Amino acid sequence: MNVRRFETPAAVAKKLAEYAPRKCSNLLDPSVGGGALIAPLVKRIQREDIAVYCIDVDAEAILDLKNNFIREKNFSPKCINEDFLRWANLRRRPRFDCIVMNPPFAAAQTSLRREQICEINLGSSYASKAMPVEAAFVCRAIDLLTDDGRLLAVLPTSIVMSESLEWIRSYMLELGAIRSVHELPAGTFPNVESRMYLLVFDKGAKQRKITLFNHDLNEPHKMDLMIKPGELLGRLDYGYNHSKKVAEQLINRREALNWQKLADIVSIKRGNVKSPITASDVIHTCDFEHGYWRRPRPYRLEGSWKRIDSIRKTDILLQRVGRGCYQRVGRYASSSQARISDCMFVLRPKKQESFYEILFALKVMTRFRWLKPLLERGTGANYISIRSAGDLFLPMGLSKSYPAAFDAFVLGDKQRSGNWQKFANSVAKDLATVLA
């Protein structure tokens, strides 16, 4: 496997080849590399007269492809050393029954992030749109499919779950059917932190559900995501949708707990001090200890800052970035004023008297590991968006249902006795029994 080129491991390519269409006379890999992805597909289709097109912008990759596969029976592709996005714009290019691809993706490479301007099909016309390179590959590939062609793709999280690319998921649904999305095991691609997915798309088809698979390649868990007409298509990853179902179960079974959406009970604001942080009056991700956010040492406020940015006693801070950030939530416990880093959210209760109800509910809910995929998103570096935080449902009636634990939690916090967390744990444990 060529690690530098992020080539697809054989087991993954074999899995994707299982979705080969029944009919296929024209096949394309627009970012072929050394051919690891397309080779098992060609073998599976087994047609003498199949026309195979292989494109790669890297001349060395095309050479590797020729060296690796050209002598194989049934595999004498047309090799094109070109930028696929340019090639796809040519007037006279063929259309394909099947396109298989593991395209380059932007991730942290800002150069690839926004620079692609790609036309998208609006039915009777086309519109130009700026998008990351992986989205441009998807749009162009769909364009090049025959009216009932199939796309088999290895794709990063951006296409499957990002808010900024929500439009592309809806776009795909307008033009066809997303049959399945299969999460690949973590670390499938060496040196790639992002989770990767296999996606099967049939152009021109209609659908009522998408089958989602978890990260087991051979015996995955699966669930059906029902499509509701007119509703935006949110995230397509198994982890998120499974957790959403668990949360719904809990809410239905403990309806009396007065569940409320976080966005309805607090204002959510991102801190406004840009990292890296050098000032000593700023609360940053390293300032979380024993469930509290605090300044570790006495300090002086540096420079000028606006009072409006100052923190209140009833503000709750939630870390916004980093692995496991969903559990780094708590109140600010130092007495001195501070500013907030942009790696944090400030949750400010709309009614100050609800402060302890909200804090307790957050401490209870973040005990559940299944909450993580509901809150965190990411392509390697995890983050929480304002929307995913705001969409979280909290049980605001815990003080009535668990008065002893709630009162002990509040007292423990006021006395800074350090053992208040166990009261949140005991409530979480009790709630978990309704899910068993």
Q: Which residue is nearest to ligand SAM (CB)?
A: 33
Is there a contact between 112 and 87 (Cβ–Cβ < 8 Å)? no
Length of the chain: 436
Residues touching ligand SAM, count (CB under 6 A)? 21
Instruction: Show contacts with ligand SAM in window 89-128 (CB under 6 A).
Output: 102, 104
Tally of CB atoms within 10 A around 13: 22
Minimum gap (Å) between residue 43 Cβ and ligand SAM: 15
Nearer to ligand SAM, 199 or 250 (CB): 199
Q: State which H helix or E strand residue 364 sits in.
A: helix 355-365
Least CB distance from residue 88 to ligand SAM, whole Å? 9
What is the smallest separation between the CB atom of 93 and ligand SAM, expressed in angstroms? 14
Nearest distance in Å: CB 210, ligand SAM: 23
Per-residue string for binding with ligand SAM, 51-70, x by CB under 6 A? Answer: ----xxxx--x---------
CA atoms within 13 A on the CB side of 221: 9
- Contacts of residue 364, Cβ cutoff 8 Å, sequence gap at least 6: 395, 398, 424, 427, 428, 431
Which part of the chain contacts ligand SAM (CB under 6 A), choosing from 5-13, 142-150, 357-365, 417-425?
5-13
What interhelical angle do 403-414 and 355-365 show, nearest 10?
100
Q: Which of 19, 33, 145, 431 binds ligand SAM (CB under 6 A)?
A: 33
The DSSP secondary structure of 254-278, one letter per residue, reads TGGG-EEEHHHHEEEEE--BPSSP-
Q: What values do phi and psi take at 281, rounded to 5? A: -105, 20
Please, which residue, 37 or 392, has the CB nearer to ligand SAM? Answer: 37
- Amino acid making up residue 155: L
Q: Which stretch binds ligand SAM (CB under 6 A): 49-57, 272-280, 313-321, 422-430?
A: 49-57
Under 8 Å between Cβ of 317 and 332: yes
- Single residue of 20, 29, 198, 329 touching ligand SAM by CB under 6 A: 29
Q: How far is the CB of 3 from ligand SAM (least distance, A)?
A: 11
- Rounded CA-CA distance 306/301 in Å is 11
Residue 41 or 325 having the CB closest to ligand SAM: 41
Binds ligand SAM (CB under 6 A): choice among 6, 75, 355, 393: 6
Which residue lies nearer to ligand SAM by CB, 84 or 238?
Answer: 84
Pick from 351, 339, 347: which is nearest to 366 by CA? 347
Is position 31 an interface residue for ligand SAM (rule: CB under 6 A)? yes
Which listed range, 16-24, 81-89, 268-276, 329-337, lies at the site for ligand SAM (CB under 6 A)?
A: 81-89
Of 3 and 251, nearer to ligand SAM (C-beta) is 3
32 sits near ligand SAM (criterion: CB under 6 A): yes
Among 37, 198, 200, 338, binds ligand SAM (CB under 6 A): 37
Q: Is 17 in the site for ligand SAM (CB under 6 A)?
A: no
Distance from C-alpha of 224 to C-alpha of 231, rounded to nearest angstrom: 16
Q: How far apart are CB 56 and ligand SAM at their closest, in Å?
A: 5
Joined tokens for residue 127? 């519109």
* Distances in whole angstroms, Cα of residue 74 to Cα of each of 34, 62, 70, 193: 17, 18, 9, 36
Amino acid at 210: I
Query: H or E stretch including 344?
Result: strand 344-349
Nearer to ligand SAM, 137 or 420 (CB): 137
**Cβ neighbours, 10 Å, residue 259:** 17
Binding site for ligand SAM (CB under 6 A): 5-8, 29-33, 36-37, 55-58, 61, 83-85, 102, 104
